[in-house]
Amino acid sequence: MAVSRPPLTAAANVEHSYVESIDPVTGEAFARFEVAQPAAICAMMARARAVQPDWARLPMIERCRAVRRLRDALFHSREEIIGVITRETGKPRVEAIFAEIVLALDTADYFIRHAQRWLRRQRVPHRNITLKAKAGWIEYEPVGVVAILSPWNYPLAIPMAELIPALLAGNSVVLKPSELTPWIGSMIGELCIRAGLPEGLVQIVQGDATAGAALVEAGPDKVFFTGSVETGRKIAAACAGRIIPSVLELGGKDPMLVFADADLEVASSAAVWGSFMNCGQACLSVERVYVEQSIAARFTELCVAKAKKLRVGPPSDLESDIGPLIRPRQLERVERQLRDAVERGAKILVGGGRRPELGPTFLDPAVVTDVDESMDLMREETFGPVLAIRAVASADEAVKFANESPFALSASIWTRDIVRAREVASQLRAGAVMINDVASYYGIVEAPHGGRGASGWGRTHSRFGFMEMVHAKYVDVDRLTGRFNAWWFGYTAGLATAADRLTQLLFAPGWKQRGTALKDIRAWRALLSRRNRI
């Protein structure tokens, strides 16, 4: 697939108009992309608004065909896309396939299969006898222009999980990829062209926070933002100012609760994978482990042994388990949290040191114990390869600590007692809870994804995520045409009595009282023979 990308040497005198694609393995830039200026973003918004109605008017089957072509273009270009994902993010090839390519393809298949049925007109039966003469239904209409602002950690899967349902529902899309992964963003635009989508239906805005803010200012009909809490707050405020609805997928501090009867071999492998996959840079990373005291030592020992076996290295080595952190500032943030934790009494049992011989942002994955909630490591999002383990007196204490965080994205419970696990799952404050697994529910496109509290609002994936892309419009028709409604103007004392009898007839708790209301013939006659109508 040909990707239009200016060479690094071009237009060096307009430095600020470009975002660079930097390989985190070396820290070197290898491509640059022109930043969209606010005026250009407004023009893109106008274009998106102009093409959307024609797209929405296409029969659903046509939209499904077009999205299927996009899915096929993605499938056929996967080798090149994997190459760019691993180059721009440094993640291992296996993770680029499972968590990005497979997820994007599966999202397309799932929504293509269900979109038509979900958007079908839906009848709304009326219960109330006074309204029986009317018939109503719900029509689903696209919201219009959808703005997608996405992060760098899953630069393909996250925007595609929003772009695909947005298109199927009849919206146009303006997508701003992260400034750290502009090349993937540009490839998404290229795939849309290759799939033959109408020009202007999907447009890519390159740039950083300034371009993102300009995109929200340009007035899309809905904003889908995935990123940090800090930025989420700014976007929520900007959207509030313009009354633009939003879905906010923000950070996490996901707890893993390990009970005394858990299979420790499996749980420790899950903890290591859950904390270190994508170098710990996942919103669903296991960031806090609460393990029952009686098994804490054995569980920790297993985690340390497994962490020692992990291979840290570039994605070009297909046996690397853990790549680099995305940028030096991310590495420094992890180190800062580790330093603070150690100063407050934590012990780093393994890892935590830099690997300069591999590149500027490689860090050995760390297993840390003796942690508590006074430490930044247990309160703030770490977003790095750190597995922090806290021993707790009981399952109840684990639940208490888990629920104390302002974040509430996902959580996991480890036990052989599924009945108990289900009870605990109901007590956890989280958008999703996995029993005997971590994080991988994100790969189940049928499962809703999203948080509450500091982790945001709204949902992506699943039918819930799809319905975020539409307005539910209610339409009603009065089947008895030429009839006045009894509650219209021309009020009288007789109508007031009849209204009260009707209330008794419909809602009195006892049948006797309802029967009494029914016997008030005068009131009913007054109701049916109203003369002084206006």
Candidate residues 85, 161, 205, 213; the one interacting with ligand NAD per rule CB under 6 A: 213
Query: Would you say 367 and 307 are in contact if contact means Cβ atoms under 8 Å apart?
Result: yes
Candidate residues 34, 109, 141, 208; the one interacting with ligand NAD per rule CB under 6 A: 208
Nearer to ligand NAD, 271 or 409 (CB): 409
> Would you count residue 176 as binding ligand NAD (CB under 6 A)?
yes
Contact partners, residue 151, CB within 8 Å, separation at least 6: 158, 178, 226, 227, 228
Stretch that binds ligand NAD, among 37-45, 174-182, 390-398, 508-516 (CB under 6 A): 174-182
Q: Which amino acid is at 219?
A: G
Stretch that binds ligand NAD, among 206-214, 267-275, 415-423, 493-501 (CB under 6 A): 206-214
CB of 213 to ligand NAD, least distance (A): 4
Q: Supply φ then ψ for residue 486, to 5 degrees.
A: -65, -25
> Would you count residue 37 as binding ligand NAD (CB under 6 A)?
no
Nearer to ligand NAD, 49 or 176 (CB): 176
Integer Cα distance of 324 and 331 in angstroms: 9
Nearer to ligand NAD, 170 or 232 (CB): 232
Identify the active-site residue in 64, 239, 283, 303: 283
Burial class (CB in 10 A: 0-12, 13-18, 19+), 258: buried
Please tell me whether residue 412 adopts helix, strand or coil conformation: strand
Tell which positions 140-169 bind ligand NAD, by CB under 6 A. 149-154, 158
Nearer to ligand NAD, 432 or 526 (CB): 432
> Would you count residue 381 as binding ligand NAD (CB under 6 A)?
yes
Nearer to ligand NAD, 136 or 453 (CB): 453
Nearer to ligand NAD, 251 or 352 (CB): 251
230 is catalytic: no
Candidate residues 14, 124, 193, 209; the one interacting with ligand NAD per rule CB under 6 A: 209
Which residue sits closest to ligand NAD, CB atoms considered? 212
Identify the active-site residue in 95, 100, 179, 249: 249
Stretch that binds ligand NAD, among 224-232, 315-323, 336-344, 393-401 (CB under 6 A): 224-232
Stretch that binds ligand NAD, among 118-126, 221-229, 362-370, 468-476 (CB under 6 A): 221-229
Integer Cα distance of 425 and 402 in angstroms: 11
Burial class (CB in 10 A: 0-12, 13-18, 19+), 113: exposed
| Max CA pair span of the chain | 95
Nearer to ligand NAD, 313 or 431 (CB): 431
Strand partners, 473: 139
Query: Would you say 112 and 64 are in contact if contact means Cβ atoms under 8 Å apart?
Result: yes
283 is catalytic: yes
Contacts 24+ apart (CB under 8 A), 56-65: 56/141, 56/142, 56/170, 56/171, 58/170, 60/115, 60/116, 60/119, 60/168, 61/116, 63/115, 63/167, 63/168, 63/170, 64/112, 64/115, 64/116, 64/168
CB of 44 to ligand NAD, least distance (A): 15
Candidate residues 226, 278, 320, 410; the one interacting with ligand NAD per rule CB under 6 A: 226
The number of residues that bind ligand NAD (CB under 6 A) is 29
CB of 239 to ligand NAD, least distance (A): 10
> Would you count residue 178 as binding ligand NAD (CB under 6 A)?
yes
Candidate residues 90, 165, 220, 251; the one interacting with ligand NAD per rule CB under 6 A: 251
Q: Give the tokens for residue 378.
A: 């247990």
CB of 383 to ligand NAD, least distance (A): 6
CB of 238 to ligand NAD, least distance (A): 7
Candidate residues 24, 155, 165, 252; the one interacting with ligand NAD per rule CB under 6 A: 252
Vertex 170, ends 452 and 110: CA angle to 5°?
65
Helix axes 157-168, 182-194, angle to 10 degrees: 30
> Would you count residue 212 as binding ligand NAD (CB under 6 A)?
yes
Nearer to ligand NAD, 35 or 349 (CB): 35
Reference 281, options 178, 134, 144, 389; nearest CA is 178
CB-CB neighbours of 393 under 10 Å: 10
Candidate residues 48, 187, 250, 425; the one interacting with ligand NAD per rule CB under 6 A: 250
Stretch that binds ligand NAD, among 78-86, 130-138, 172-180, 272-280 (CB under 6 A): 172-180
> Would you count residue 91 as binding ligand NAD (CB under 6 A)?
no
CB-CB neighbours of 335 under 10 Å: 16
CB of 21 to ligand NAD, least distance (A): 14
> Would you count residue 228 as binding ligand NAD (CB under 6 A)?
yes
Stretch that binds ligand NAD, among 3-11, 107-115, 246-254, 269-277 (CB under 6 A): 246-254
> Would you count residue 516 as binding ligand NAD (CB under 6 A)?
no
Candidate residues 203, 231, 268, 320; the one interacting with ligand NAD per rule CB under 6 A: 231
Q: To the nearest 5 percent, what fractions of the chain are helix, strand and coil? A: 45, 20, 35
Q: What is the dihedral of CA 154, 157, 163, 164, to 10 degrees?
A: -170
Integer Cα distance of 518 and 496 in angstroms: 15
Reference 214, options 43, 59, 340, 361; nearest CA is 43
Reference 174, options 40, 82, 68; nearest CA is 40
Vertex 224, ends 222 and 225: CA angle to 5°?
135
Please tell me whether residue 434 adopts helix, strand or coil conformation: strand
What b/e string do you get for 64-77 counting C-beta neighbours within 10 Å, with b at 16 or more? bebbebbbebbeeb
CB of 485 to ligand NAD, least distance (A): 48
For 277-346, list the strands marked E by DSSP. Answer: 286-292
Give contact residues for ligand NAD (rule: CB under 6 A): 149-154, 158, 176, 178-179, 208-209, 212-213, 216, 226-228, 231, 234-235, 249-252, 283, 381, 383, 409
The catalytic residues are 249, 283
